[in-house]
Structure 1
Amino acid sequence: MRVRNSLVARVRGRPQSAMSRTYSAFWTSVTKLGLHTKPRMPPCDFTPEKYQSLAYDRVLEVHRLHLPPVPTAYFPKPLLLHQGHMEWLFDHEGNRYLDCFSGIVTVSVGHCHPKVNAVAQKQLGRLWHTSALFFHSPTHEFAEKLLALLPEPLKVIFFVNSGSEANDLAMLMARAHTNRTDLISFRGAYHGCSPYTLGLTNVGPFRMELPSGLGCQSTMCPDVFRGPWGGSHCRDSPVQTIRKCSCAPDCCQARDQYIEQFKDTLNTSVAKSIAGFFAEPIQGVNGVVQYPKGFLKEAFKLVREREGVCIADEVQTGFGRLGSHFWGFQTHDILPDIVTMAKGIGNGFPMAAVVTTPEIAKSLAKCMYHFNTFGGSPMACAIGSAVLEVIKEENLQENSQEVGTYMLQKLAELRDEFEIVGDVRGKGLMIGIEMVKDKMGRQPLPQEEVNQIHEDCKRMGLIIGRGGIFAQTFRIAPSMCITKPDVHFAVEVFRSALIQHMERRAQQNS
């Protein structure tokens, strides 16, 4: 691939017509050499069962007639998945895929992990459901195990069923405790799409023209790649943006500029005292956006000066995924008043939780009788305990750190090779690859081109996610059991997809 690197470096300075001719000749030679043929998958010792359910066309018909008319399915020909094993998925035809999106950052320890399966089957044969009106030990055992992983005074847990429900409850807690209404969240934030949390979610397609989530205000997202400030020393990641900055190691100018914008929101858009501030330690749906180092710590201080509470949304960042720490908020050296969690907590089983202080929990109890029929069910909590045990026994947090850093660095090499790869960022096994027309302008790569790259990855056996305001960022968040050979395959598939894309572009320009 050194030949390509050298050529790309040379042609960037040429006129467009010369560049097109050079690229055209080069990609023709690439095709002849077979450098973008399908990379070979790592071996897998699992054989899926034969698919014997609804025919593919029948599935499409039922979906069209009876399921919500929202275009959520990835790919022009949607994948019909049949079975999963650890980091692998199998479709109805038996094709195997490396799952690097894990059900939207949810399958934390691997599809159908044997230990989690065994615990679930055992509990399934013992007791499915009681409700909170009756006690059953798996609930209390899991509560103790989970709370042991959180610092004082975060020692009261409310079990619910989804991330939206967890953030919904956290909003209520903040308002009950402070007796105030105004809540702040970042632009680009995603905290759920229930009627209440839609006020916190600031991603265009999720916004409604009808009233929802009243009392919520957005503030500028401190994005050091796409925002007005930021550069090569600003974020907590093994890979920095290629934007230049003059920040010193202990003084981030971008952080200070974004804090001024946060102060402006506090001074103009909310009351003198507020209910609270919601933040994802790293934004997920917005394309794995990271903030300047030290920003959240200063923002939390400003919120508390306004008598508000600080909420960390760990739905995507928690449970060791970031590698260096078990919780995303720990990477910012902050202590939230409320922590919400879901997704990876149950490895795909629908469960979630809100953890807070005894003081805030009592404030909620004074205002209402909170009850949840399914939250903290015996099944959910037995599975939750098994997930925590697997993370510890199999050193999955450490694997996230080692393999995730390796993956980030390998993907950063692609950023250096291809002009359309604008930014590679993240921490552990939460990675974003932002696609651009060119690095200097940072304008999003057109959606049809991103779609083509996405489709090519799928065709070669790699499933990755999408995110960003313009759907321009590929999201990579595999199960934490992923290996370095898996990463090598994923990177080579992505490289091949980029080569094929540049070949199409050269042919169009020739």
Structure 2
Amino acid sequence: MEQSNIIGRDAVAAKRKQYFYPCTAHFYRDAPQLVRGSMQYVYDENGKEYTDFFAGVSVVACGHCNPAITSRTIAQLQQLQHTSTVYLTQPNVDLAERLEGLLPGTLRRTFFVNSGSEANEGALLLARMHTGRKGFIALEAGLHGRTNLTMSVTGLQMWRTDAYLDEDVTFIERPYHPEMTLEDAAARSIQSLKRVLAEKGDTIAAMIVEPIQGNGGMIMPALSYFREVKALLEQNGILLIDDEIQTGYGRTGAMFAMEHFGVVPDIISMAKALGNGVPVAAFSTTDEIAASLNKPSASTFGGNPVSAATALAVLDYIQSERLPERAAELGGRLKAGLLLLQERYPALITDVRGTGFMLGAELAGSEAEGAADRTDLVLEEMKDRGYLIGKNGIGRNVLAFQPPLVVTAENIDAMLAALDEVLSLVKQAIH
């Protein structure tokens, strides 16, 4: 954007208020207008630099405007922009073939769409068609999309805005409770699942899960949990849908987060990082299950030449730069730093959880100041110091650290030092 065209944060905020729906909000009291990005950095209308520790909600895993990717996007854009799947083009079949080499087990068939909501909607439809059943099981506090069916399987109340959601969804307790060990919380969730299966197992098409709940507060179950879940589902002819929309493509230290649990799902959905900012999403499955999606269907823009060429460039960069391994190593550094801050501020940070570069630090509140308000204050102060971090959790009181996977050790250490300074100010304000 040319400098002469930049209208400034106040004017942008005014236009949003005038032309957007009231459901659209932003994080900050004094929100910057972001006008430029370069790898792990973004810049506002005044030229101030911010180190991004949220990656546009887990999207730009390879960094903002990464030249190794954008150059190939531009080249494809100048050659062939759109055809749809009613014509033959090479980028999308090359991408589907490439994905087969990355997907777990025998998953190899891919249907391309544009967004995570679409990918999950397609996965849920596929499960119904394959099993001939209608019902679904989902975890409390999960988030799977904003279409009617994906909102129906979403367990976070703040995102269930439709009053007429699908009633064939049963929620079970998630494998987490703040007053339980992960093992005990997993056992509680498994018992909840068994009760549902005993009552209506023959009516359930699939169970949909996030291997690590993102918006639910960075919840990673005990490592045995999904193995037990998969075994129970198989006994009842129920499919497991693995929602990797936030966790996929290296963020957790593995290409897909379900790899940490040693489980191969029946269907996997993906979006966000696959396009590094260009809309591309997909759901993949086995030959056998894919055979059930046999009535005419298409996605006008899904897998278009530009998004497919971009995704191929993304996968090249992830693998050549060993980003999953980088996320595991530097994510460990970030988590260790957050744990040290928890030791230093035990009255402020109640828990640090997650793995790789999908980490959360839960904040406590007080009678005078709620945990969500305190979280907003930390975000505002960190922004003023040049760091963008996220927030999530049922109470919106979990600091979310989901940076581009290209951040450096120096970025991490500097951000932790700034967070230490902010938490110290918050602590002083309490006393």
After TM superposition, the structure 1 = structure 2 runs for residues 56-455 of structure 1, keeping only pairs within 5 Å, are: 56-208=9-161, 210-224=163-177, 226=178, 228-230=179-181, 234=182, 252-268=183-199, 270-323=200-253, 325-365=254-294, 368-418=295-345, 419-437=347-365, 445-455=370-380
Q: 1:327 to 1:490 in 2, by over 3 A?
A: same
Q: 1:51 to 1:94 in 2, by over 3 A?
A: farther
Q: Deviations over 1:419-438 (max 9, x none)?
A: 21011111111000011248
Q: Deviations over 1:388-446 (max 9, x none)?
A: 000111121111011001110111001111121011111111000011248xxxxx953
SS of 1:90's equivalent in the other structure is strand
C-alpha contact (below 8 Å) 1:430/1:476 kept by paired residues:
yes
* AA of the residue aligned to 2:195: D
Deviation at 1:265, TM superposition (A): 2.9
Q: 1:300 and 1:273 mapped to 2: Cα distance?
A: 17
Match of residue 12 from structure 1 = none
C-alpha contact (below 8 Å) 2:54/2:403 kept by paired residues:
yes
C-alpha contact (below 8 Å) 1:273/1:308 kept by paired residues:
no
Q: 1:305 and 1:50 mapped to 2: Cα distance?
A: 62
In structure 2, runs of 5+ residues without a counterpart are none
Q: 2:149 and 2:216 mapped to 1: Cα distance?
A: 20
* AA of the residue aligned to 1:339: I
Q: 2:189 and 2:20 mapped to 1: Cα distance?
A: 42
SS of 2:79's equivalent in the other structure is coil
Deviation at 1:271, TM superposition (A): 4.5
Q: Structure 2 length normalisation: TM-score?
A: 0.96
Q: Deviations over 1:203-237 (max 9, x none)?
A: 1111136112331111101115x2x521xxx4xxx
Q: 2:276 and 2:134 mapped to 1: Cα distance?
A: 34
SS of 1:277's equivalent in the other structure is strand
Moved more, 405-414 or 300-309: 300-309
Q: 1:432 and 1:267 mapped to 2: Cα distance?
A: 35
Bigger radius of gyration, 1 or 2?
1
Q: 1:51 to 1:73 in 2, by over 3 A?
A: farther
Q: 1:51 to 1:459 in 2, by over 3 A?
A: farther
* AA of the residue aligned to 2:202: K
SS of 1:426's equivalent in the other structure is strand
C-alpha contact (below 8 Å) 2:8/2:33 kept by paired residues:
no
C-alpha contact (below 8 Å) 2:9/2:31 kept by paired residues:
no
Deviation at 1:382, TM superposition (A): 0.3
SS of 1:384's equivalent in the other structure is helix
C-alpha contact (below 8 Å) 1:277/1:311 kept by paired residues:
yes
Residue 467 (str. 1) matches residue 392 (str. 2): yes
C-alpha contact (below 8 Å) 1:420/1:445 kept by paired residues:
no
SS of 2:293's equivalent in the other structure is helix
Q: 1:393 and 1:168 mapped to 2: Cα distance?
A: 32
* AA of the residue aligned to 1:381: A
Aligned residue pairs total: 429
Deviation at 1:49, TM superposition (A): 6.9
Deviation at 1:138, TM superposition (A): 1.1
Q: 1:207 and 1:423 mapped to 2: Cα distance?
A: 27
SS of 1:340's equivalent in the other structure is strand
Q: 1:163 and 1:209 mapped to 2: Cα distance?
A: 18
* AA of the residue aligned to 2:32: L
Residue 476 (str. 1) matches residue 397 (str. 2): no
C-alpha contact (below 8 Å) 2:392/2:399 kept by paired residues:
yes
C-alpha contact (below 8 Å) 1:456/1:497 kept by paired residues:
yes
Deviation at 1:76, TM superposition (A): 1.3
C-alpha contact (below 8 Å) 1:98/1:463 kept by paired residues:
yes
Q: 2:71 and 2:20 mapped to 1: Cα distance?
A: 32
C-alpha contact (below 8 Å) 1:317/1:327 kept by paired residues:
yes
Q: 1:51 and 1:432 mapped to 2: Cα distance?
A: 39
SS of 2:68's equivalent in the other structure is helix
SS of 1:185's equivalent in the other structure is strand
Q: Deviations over 1:338-395 (max 9, x none)?
A: 0000000000111101001111111121xx3111100010000000000000011112
In structure 1, runs of 5+ residues without a counterpart are 1-47, 235-251, 439-443
Q: Deviations over 1:156-213 (max 9, x none)?
A: 0000000000000011001110000110111010000111111111111111361123
SS of 1:196's equivalent in the other structure is helix
Q: 1:502 and 1:412 mapped to 2: Cα distance?
A: 17
Q: 1:209 and 1:168 mapped to 2: Cα distance?
A: 16
Q: 1:281 to 1:119 in 2, by over 3 A?
A: same
Q: 2:160 and 2:185 mapped to 1: Cα distance?
A: 28
Q: 1:312 to 1:170 in 2, by over 3 A?
A: same
Q: What is the root-mean-square deviation in Å for CA atoms of aligned residues? A: 1.7
Q: 1:188 and 1:400 mapped to 2: Cα distance?
A: 25
Identity of aligned residues (%): 31
Deviation at 1:260, TM superposition (A): 1.4
Deviation at 1:71, TM superposition (A): 4.5
